[in-house]
Amino acid sequence: MSAPKLRVGIAGLGRMGQRHALNYHVFTPRAEVVAASSPDPKEHKWAAENLTGAKIYKDYYEMLEKENLDAVVVAGITAVHADHTIAAIKKGLHVMCEKPLSLDIKIAQSVLDAYNTSLKTNPNQKVMCGFSRRFDASYREAYARMVSGQHGRPVVFRSQTADMLDTTGTFVNYAKTSGGIFLDCSIHDIDLMLWFLGENTNIKSLQAVGVVAVHTALDSSKDRDNAVATVEFDEGKIATLFCSRMMAAGQEDTTEIICERGSLRVNMHGQKNHLEIHDRQGARRDLPKHYYERFREAFLTEANEFTACCLDNTTPPVSLSSSVKAVVIGSALQRSLTTGEKIVFSGKEARL
């Protein structure tokens, strides 16, 4: 008799939803995608060709009512992340929600509140937000070395997300609803910052500045295509975050954790693979062209580990409270970016 599999429903079949669907359906042995939902007929066609055996719904809530699901992967547009997650929580289902939980702090908090309420009657329920870099092998090794204490305590954290320049106009249109460069582009760096410096470490202050260098249409949405932030913590820790939407060569995501007796660096010399090209133009190496190309293996690990925590009743790899705090910090950085003010935290606010 074969071991039971996690019966998964996919909410949203856009580019990210399709990636998640294939990861759970094809590359996660302990899971099976039994249903998916999307309002787009073109995405239904894709699902029929790629998700063999899965039933496809136009309406997400109909899928929740009619299918015998164990878990839902919420991968639609950010505007519906919270609603879709809360609905699944109330059904007693496990949920893996794409980042961020919401662009609104109160709505993100409402997801955590719904989960905490549900845990009283469903103590084995698992809900987490999908911060993929926590599942990357290099970041995990850096974290393990840091917590081993061999380099002393972490003091300075610096991290960047730098996307390849989009010349099609797609990004500018997307930016109108993305929440801004810190809630969208830098949210992974914010999550890493909390992971490495401590999810419960109090924030004292933060400040952000940015410029519009290439995508001039961003002015209308009060966004920037390049930005830098400084975050000050208690216990003598600081962080700097850099984000860009105009890299010429490809995706350049890097992180350094400077400790008392050494530093840990991830992807400081970015490369797509181990190939070096030597020709009349000189010596060079290619970079990944987009985020998923760089972190594909991390997404696969995420799918398998979330499935395992649901089936084996273990702690989710990413806490939901930390994911809410990431929204709080991202929102504050976005406000600082547009107003120019330094934001100082105190009391309970620092502990959010």
pLDDT score at 349:
53
Tell me how far apart the alpha carbons of residues 37 and 128 are, in angstroms, rounded to a whole number.
20
Q: Which pLDDT tens digit goes with each residue over 160-174?
A: 999 999 999 888 888
What does the pLDDT read at residue 2?
74
Phi, psi of 74 (to 5 degrees): -90, 110
What span, in angstroms and rounded, lies between the C-alpha atoms of 69 and 144? 35
**Which amino acid appears at position 320 of this protein?**
L
**Six token digits for residue 345:** 């935290």
pLDDT value, residue 41: 95
* Confidence (pTM): 0.95
Distances in Å between the Cα of 106 and the Cα atoms of 110, 149, 163, 184, 287 are 6, 37, 29, 18, 38
Rounded Cα–Cα distance for residues 292 and 251 (Å): 10
Residue 172: its pLDDT value, please?
87
Can you tell me whether residue 120 is helix, strand or coil?
coil
CA atoms of 241 and 160, how far apart (whole Å) = 6
Helix axes 15-26, 41-50, angle to 10 degrees: 20
Residue 48, SS3 per DSSP: helix
Whole-number Å distance between alpha carbons of 77 and 16: 9
Mark residue 55 as left, alpha or beta (left: phi above 0; alpha: psi -120 to 50; beta: remaining). Answer: beta
Lookup: tokens for 55: 């039933």
Q: Is 217 exposed, middle or buried (0-12, 13-18, 19+ CB in 10 A)?
A: middle
For 279-291, the pLDDT digits (tens) are: 999 999 999 999 9
* β-pair partners for 278: 283
Q: Which pLDDT tens digits describe the chain residue by residue (352 residues)? A: 678 999 999 999 999 999 999 999 999 999 999 999 999 999 999 999 999 999 999 999 999 999 999 999 999 999 999 999 999 999 999 999 999 999 999 999 999 999 999 999 999 999 999 999 999 999 999 999 999 999 999 999 999 999 999 999 888 888 888 899 999 999 999 999 999 999 998 999 999 999 999 999 998 888 999 999 999 999 999 999 999 999 999 999 999 999 999 999 999 999 998 899 999 999 999 999 999 999 999 999 999 999 999 999 999 999 999 999 999 999 999 999 999 999 998 865 544 4
18 vs 26: CA distance, rounded Å: 12
* Alpha-carbon torsion, ordered 242, 337, 106, 82, to 10 deg: -50
Rounded to the nearest angstrom, the gap between the alpha carbon of residue 110 and the centroid of all alpha carbons in its chain is 19
Cβ of 348: how many Cβ atoms within 10 Å? 7
Which amino acid does the sequence have at 83?
A: D
Look at residues 1, 37, 334 and name the one whose alpha carbon lies nearest to residue 190. 334
